[in-house]
Amino acid sequence: MNTDNNITDKPTILAVDDNPSSFDQISNTFRDSASILSAVNYQNGMEIAENEQPDLILLNEKIKESDGLEVCLALQKRPETRDIPIIVMSNNGENSNEAGSINAGAVDFIFKPLDENILKARVENQLRQKNNLDFLKTLSSIDALTEIPNRRFFDERLDQEWKRATRERYSISLLMIDIDHFKSYNDTYGHLQGDECLKTVARNLSQNLWRSSDIITRYGGEEFAVILPGTPSYSALNVAKRLWESISALEIEHSSSLSVGYLTVSIGLATLSPNEKTKPHQLIELADKNLYKSKTDGRNRVTG
């Protein structure tokens, strides 16, 4: 996760407008500073907003007599899009509903014909504010000790990935990873060394996830969770084995371990294909069940 408080990459702006000249003006205004996405109707705009997660939306107040305020309300209700700032554009003069737009969730309102300087100033102002909010949100989602995402982030991200997988019809795999005999490790080497051990394990797990879409989190205590979007069970098993082997290869001394004398992990694996009738907790429960089996079968193994 990027915790940089500066805009280093180009932000993405979604323009929802059926007027080609307006889109051309927006594109020309931000051609050097942003990536521009376009939609000529509200349905397409909603789909792009949900799938592409733009940094800001420029929304025409009315398209073919349809009301953009309903789109604002719909975007505010969806977890994937509720934090995206929306600037409503209107060419209706005295008939414009500025107050209604703000009440519906828009952060700003601008009249057409678009003034390039005003448009640029208002968009850049909202992008700065969003960048600051994103930075604070990122900090609140990071585990202070291991510096990987925390349980709060896990819950939010699994819910997002579940909805995306339901729409696009692909599977999700989940790994639940538990450090074997960690209490006895703390008792033997002390809590400070235990903290260093957690940092080392978190770093090693992160380094051995090779896809940017795979997500490692600290689930709690000595337990970690890995979300693998778009991953069938056989591929997830390969990832699980790679992570399990990578921890063993560290050969972190654990003299009080009842098995091999160095630090090991147990892993539970689960894979589901989400649909409208299933929920994320079912995947968690299945992975937890397999983790429990790994532990009761002697630990230091993968069960899936």
Q: Alpha helices of the chain — where are they, by DSSP H? A: 20-29, 42-52, 68-77, 98-103, 116-140, 151-168, 182-189, 191-207, 233-250, 280-296
Pick from 150, 131, 102: nearest CA to 34: 131
**Reduced to 3 states, what is the DSSP secondary structure of residue 149?**
strand
**How many C-alpha atoms does 276 have within 13 Å on its Cβ side?**
0
Query: 222, 245, 251, 253: which one is catalytic?
Result: 222
CA 138 remoteness from chain centre:
10
Q: Closest Cα to residue 219, out of 173, 151, 285?
A: 151
Residue indicated by tokens 């899009």: 81
Q: What are phi and psi of 98, to 5 degrees?
A: -65, -45
Task: Indicate if 222 belongs to the active site.
Answer: yes
Sign of CA dihedral 207, 209, 214, 219: negative
Residues classed as catalytic: 222
